[in-house]
Amino acid sequence: MKQRTSPLVKVALGGTNLFVFLFTLSALFPIVWMFYTSLKSNQEFSLSIMSLPSQPTFVNYLNAFEIGNIGSAIFSSVLNTVIPVPLIVLFSFIMGYFFSRIDFKGKRILMLLFLAGMMIPIHALLVPLFVQFKWFGMLDNRFTLILPYIAFHLPVAIFLFDSFIKGISREIEEAAYIDGSSFDRTMFTVILPICLPIMSTVAILSVLGTWNEFSFALVLNKSTELFTLPIWLTFFSGQHTTDYTGKIAGLVITSLPIIVIYLFFSNKIMSGMTAGAVKG
């Protein structure tokens, strides 16, 4: 016989579903609002910021590409994401593997240093890093941001790999050694494929962090051709006026790759984080 659900439980479930629905709606509405507002003119936007566009226009997007020099900003953002992310994944995997499998002198000190890197707010390093880069003549060039981005994302990535690899049975490596596999071959051909879930998590989190970074991109680079997309968005605000709909169109262009990545890979982020937590 089917067990009947009491009215109180039904009310509780209905209230929970309603709360989740309203919460989801509140999270999705800003994105929807941003998309349809980018199709307005500034005059229509000033009359009502919430209403739908009466005459949708793509002129804001055309201006962004023709007037706003967005091509250079896209190239800078892509460059400062495509180069650091693979290096972050590679270095964090190697160091995470060493931390989880090998006992060496200074291991505890290194782990404390990386832990400090997670605890210290990165913006507290903005002025010291600027002074240091100025001293070495590393300011305002195409590759200025790559080293800071790698350094800022390594601590979290290393601890994620360390936690995940600790949950992998050592018998797998011992079997590989018995078959004549070397240390580095075992690490890259046996353990690395097993780490694909956490590798995806590290890569996606690194992409999100480097793509959206603002402060260091603003301070360490001064040439407009080196500005990334978050800095490029400030061009829509002048001393006395702001092109609101143009700026919102720029926000759509900037956030669209991140939204697509999140929609396609959000499950991998969650599964990788959960796997690392459980295995740790």
CA distance 259 to 75: 19
Interior/surface letters 93-113, b for 16+ CB within 10 angstroms, e for the rest: bbbbbbbbbeeeeeeeeebee
pLDDT in tens, 42-98: 888 888 888 888 888 888 888 877 766 788 889 999 999 999 999 999 999 999 999
Q: Provide the whole-model pTM.
A: 0.81
Residue 276 CA to residue 280 CA, distance in Å, equals 6
CB 88 within 8 A of CB 78: no
Q: What is the pLDDT of residues 4-52, one digit of tens each?
A: 667 777 777 778 888 888 888 888 888 899 998 988 888 888 888 888 8
Question: Looking only at Cα atoms, what is the longest distance across the chain?
Answer: 79
pLDDT band at 280 (very low <50, low <70, confident <90, very high): very low
Domains delineated in the chain: 7-61 (no CATH), 64-279 (1.10.3720.10)
Digit-coded pLDDT (tens) for 104-143? 888 888 888 888 888 888 888 899 999 999 999 889 898 9
| Residues whose CB is less than 8 angstroms from the CB of residue 10 and which lie 6 or more positions away in sequence, other chains included | none
